[in-house]
Amino acid sequence: MWILFALLAAVSAAVVTVLSKAGLKDVDSSVAFAIQAVLIILVSWGVVIVQGNTGQLKSIDGRTWTYLIIAGVVTTLSSLFTFKALKMGDASIVNPLERVSLVFAIILAAIFLKEKITWQIAIGAALMVAGALVIAFAKK
């Protein structure tokens, strides 16, 4: 099932990119992100409430809170940077470069989570970087 959810996330992210770019036409990038952030909060907490998971808040330890809070700050920065890039550049170029984050995630997971990088993962990551660079520097 994780593959299905990963693919749904990919499709959703692509739709978000296109809709965000369209919505940025006459709006500052930080204002556009703030509007979406409010909806993200409402929907995500709505899901938690509907699923009955609010009780889990009491059982989260300090270290987990720290990780989640830092991740939230970095997520916000990432989104602000993405929106600014979309405001300034074409979605078809910005998005592939932004998705090089996958390569950084592989490297960071190996360093901090001790995940193994196989030759297949290394080659795939290199191809992802190469593809993003080809798209980014393509002549229009």
**Where along the chain do its domains lie?**
2-89, 99-140
- For residues 104, 97, 124, 9, the Cα torsion angle rounded to the nearest 10 degrees is 80
Instruction: State both tokens at 57.
Output: 């808040």
Average pLDDT, the chain: 94
Model-level pTM? 0.85
Rounded distance between C-alpha atoms, residue 70 and residue 57, angstroms: 17
Report how far residue 11's alpha carbon sits from residue 133's, in angstroms, rounded to the nearest whole number: 21
Rounded CA separation 130/136 (Å): 10
Q: Which two tokens stand for residue 56?
A: 């889990």
pLDDT in tens, 84-99: 999 999 999 999 899 9
Query: pLDDT by residue (tens digit) across 64-85?
Result: 999 999 999 999 999 999 999 9
